[in-house]
Amino acid sequence: MTAAPQIPLRLVESLRKVDRVAVLTGAGTSAESGIPTFRQAQTGLWSQFSPEELATPMAFAENPKRVWEWYAWRRELVTKARPNPGHLALAQLARRFPQFTLITQNVDGLHQQAGSQEVLELHGNILRTKCSREGRVVEKWTDTPAVPPPCPHCGAHLRPDVVWFHEALPQETLDRAMAAAASCQVFFSIGTSTVVSPAADLPFIAIRNGAVIVEINPEPTPLTESADYVLAGPSGMVLPELLTCLA
């Protein structure tokens, strides 16, 4: 039985009974906003570049200009992008549960633009810039031909405020995400290939806590066989359908 093309009735009935929901989103959630994902063959960002060349402290140390310019290109894409119906549905869904925790691996800020509050950004935010030496966020700097621009306080290179491979995630954010995964009654994993830890560990923490696991992804992932519900469609379609079923 389904309540809508993609939504099993049993899932809707379970959701009507719970208070605590946690959601983990990945790049797939922003795909319908025109932002490339990372690992999709051909269209994914990592099909043209390798993560090691661009998204590591070593890559930045070796060629800060190339890394800064790649993020400037991605920032351009992000500033042109708008939240899609999936982002908007998640912001609405939050109002239906007393405890709703939105955890994202995305750095595009589209959840906040869609109206989601208290988004746990595990991998930072591409629209924020920080000093590569002091780590503090820098909101403005003088126009300069230097690429990357120097920190106005100490002169070191500025860098995007995102978490690179081999870097630690913001500890307080990660702790809150893990606590939500460990205490939720339903865990949604949406638009993520579930391959990059510690984010990819969160659904498995939820499984150990006995939560109902819902995966929304057109493709299978390492989580798929452990999920209670697999909604194999684009999040921009499935989430509005889910919201309608819960109305």
**Site of interaction with ligand APR (CB under 6 A):** 26-28, 31-32, 37-40, 44, 51, 105, 123, 191-193, 196, 216-219, 221, 234-236
Residue 163 has phi, psi (to 5 degrees) of -90, 120
Residue 24 or 180: the one with the smaller Cβ distance to ligand APR is 24
DSSP code string of 133-153: TT--B-------S-SSPBPTT
Catalytic site residue 123?
Answer: yes
User: What interhelical angle do 9-17 and 235-246 show, nearest 10?
Assistant: 60
Residue 81 or 156: the one with the smaller Cβ distance to ligand APR is 81
Residue 46 or 141: the one with the smaller Cβ distance to ligand APR is 46
Residue 148 or 234: the one with the smaller Cβ distance to ligand APR is 234
User: What interhelical angle do 85-93 and 235-246 show, nearest 10?
Assistant: 30
Q: Which of 87, 111, 123, 157 is catalytic?
A: 123
User: In angstroms, rounded to a whole number, what is the distance separating the alpha carbons of residues 200 and 196?
Assistant: 5
Give me the residues paired with residue 137 across strands. Answer: 130
Place of tokens 């870097």: 167
Q: Convert 43-101 into a string of H (helix), E (strand) and C (coil).
A: CCHHHHCCHHHHCCHHHHHHCHHHHHHHHHHHHHHHHHCCCCHHHHHHHHHHHHCCEEE
Q: How far is the CB of 126 from ligand APR (least distance, A)?
A: 11
Q: How far is the CB of 36 from ligand APR (least distance, A)?
A: 8
User: In angstroms, rounded to a whole number, what is the distance separating the alpha carbons of residues 220 and 195?
Assistant: 12
Q: How far is the CB of 2 from ligand APR (least distance, A)?
A: 18
Q: How many CB atoms lie within 10 A of CB 9?
A: 12
Residue 150 or 218: the one with the smaller Cβ distance to ligand APR is 218
Q: How far is the CB of 50 from ligand APR (least distance, A)?
A: 11
Cβ pair 230, 224 in contact under 8 A: yes
Residue nearest to ligand APR (CB): 28
Q: How far is the CB of 242 from ligand APR (least distance, A)?
A: 13
Question: Which residues have a catalytic role annotated?
Answer: 123
